[in-house]
């Protein structure tokens, strides 16, 4: 086997023969992981064979490819995959050629295209942790993913988590299968497109539905008004809970002028009203009390039943 340079990974004799000494010096520093040639506006991985023809004076070197740095620049088609994978290795193995080779082997077997690797590890700051030759962990926007190769079949696993009452989330041990037997392109799309915010909205909608159904049931059995013992042949005295500061007060509407309010008390943001109504208007009054319940439902005034229970006397 021919001897390779431990810095560049290139055959030693050939490399020194072809490269200018400035370039050799540049590449001796493992922190110079990428080279940019402004003349061709192209970014190269340090191991690209095209680098051989460059002189130190014409290139810019960098250790990390940040999304803003690459804007408007091209990637060399020959080494783009390598550059993306190298940029993704952010742990203590970042300067290890062996780690680089193993990661490249994994992504090649997984059928990863340069475009997807660039999207994952350069345009976004995903990072690579090699777990084994069949398992690669990718950290992306705070999520942990595992790519698992089983007999050439690729699966994507996602970190387990529990959702709390306030819809926040904590990660727990282990991973669950997100998708199985999918091409790498789909995996990259899933990882880049994932947002817990989307799931959060789903959880919220489901919880809200349960809550509103429960509320509807409670509201149906809640008395939001009471009729006092009859003192007059013509009028009924009633007590009911109106919305007060919470929302528009139904009993104040023009069409309900036949309700004569005799007393008003504010109670926890609602208004408890004593009123006198003509006896023949009782059916209208009851309709209005139903409308109050409907409005409480529409406006999700979840404390309305409790207020009614506190403010409306059970027997008068
Ligand atoms: Zn290149």
Q: What is the pLDDT of residues 242-268, one digit of tens each?
A: 988 777 777 677 777 888 989 999 988
| pLDDT attached to residue 199 | 78
Phi and psi at residue 77, to the nearest 5°: -65, -25
3-class secondary-structure state, position 73: coil
Task: Say if residues 192 and 119 touch (Cβ distance below 8 Å).
Answer: yes
Task: Say if residues 252 and 258 touch (Cβ distance below 8 Å).
Answer: no
Q: What average pLDDT does the segment 150-171 reach?
A: 87
Residue 173 lies in a domain: no
Mean pLDDT of the residues in the chain: 88
Confidence class for position 315, pLDDT limits 50, 70, 90:
low
Distance CA 292, CA 304 (A): 10
Task: Say if residues 85 and 121 touch (Cβ distance below 8 Å).
Answer: yes
Most confident among 103-117, 225-239, 252-266 (mean pLDDT): 103-117
Residue 58 lies in a domain: no
Indicate if the pLDDT at residue 1 is higher than 50.
Answer: no
* Spacing, Cα 35 to ligand 1 middle (Å): 9
Which stretch of DSSP H or E encloses residue 213? helix 196-220
Residue 191 lies in a domain: no
pLDDT tens for each residue of 44-93: 999 999 998 999 999 999 999 999 999 999 999 999 999 999 999 998 89
Q: What domain count does the chain have? A: 1
Strand partners, 275: 238, 261
* Spacing, Cα 228 to ligand 1 middle (Å): 90
* Spacing, Cα 282 to ligand 1 middle (Å): 87
Indicate if the pLDDT at residue 204 is higher than 90.
Answer: no
Indicate if the pLDDT at residue 30 is higher than 70.
Answer: yes
Q: Give the residue from 244, 219, 206, 188 showing the smallest Cα distance to 300.
A: 219
Residue 155 lies in a domain: no
| pLDDT attached to residue 232 | 84
* Spacing, Cα 80 to ligand 1 middle (Å): 7
3-class secondary-structure state, position 43: strand
Residue 82 lies in a domain: no
Expressed as residue numbers, the domain containing 261 is 221-311
């Amino acid at each position: 086997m021919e001897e390779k340079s431990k810095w560049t990974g290139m055959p030693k004799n050939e490399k020194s023969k072809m490269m200018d000494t400035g370039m050799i010096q540049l590449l001796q520093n493992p922190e110079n992981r990428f080279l940019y040639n402004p003349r061709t506006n192209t970014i190269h991985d340090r191991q690209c064979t095209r680098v051989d023809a460059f002189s130190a004076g014409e290139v810019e070197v960098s250790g990390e490819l940040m999304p803003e740095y690459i804007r408007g620049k091209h990637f060399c088609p020959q080494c783009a995959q390598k550059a993306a994978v190298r940029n993704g290795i952010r742990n203590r193995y970042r300067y290890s050629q062996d780690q680089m080779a193993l990661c490249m082997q994994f992504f090649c077997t997984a059928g990863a295209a340069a475009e997807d690797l660039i999207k994952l590890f350069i345009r976004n700051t995903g990072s690579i942790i090699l777990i084994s030759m069949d398992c690669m962990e990718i950290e992306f926007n705070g999520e942990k993913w595992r790519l698992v190769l089983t007999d050439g079949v690729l699966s994507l696993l996602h970190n387990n988590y529990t959702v709390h009452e306030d819809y926040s989330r904590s990660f727990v041990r282990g991973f669950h299968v997100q998708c199985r037997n999918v091409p790498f392109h789909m995996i990259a799309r899933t990882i880049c497109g994932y947002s817990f915010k989307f799931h959060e909205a789903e959880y919220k909608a489901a919880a809200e539905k349960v809550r509103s159904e429960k509320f509807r049931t409670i509201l149906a059995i809640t008395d939001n008004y009471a009729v006092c013992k009859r003192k007059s042949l013509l009028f009924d005295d009633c007590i009911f809970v109106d919305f007060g500061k919470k929302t528009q007060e139904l009993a104040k509407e023009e069409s309900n002028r036949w309700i004569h309010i005799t007393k008003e008390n504010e109670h926890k943001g609602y208004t408890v009203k004593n009123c006198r109504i003509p006896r023949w208007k009782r059916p209208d009054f009851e309709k209005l009390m139903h409308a109050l319940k409907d409005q409480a439902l529409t406006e999700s005034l979840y404390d309305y039943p409790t207020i009614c229970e506190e403010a409306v006397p059970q027997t008068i």
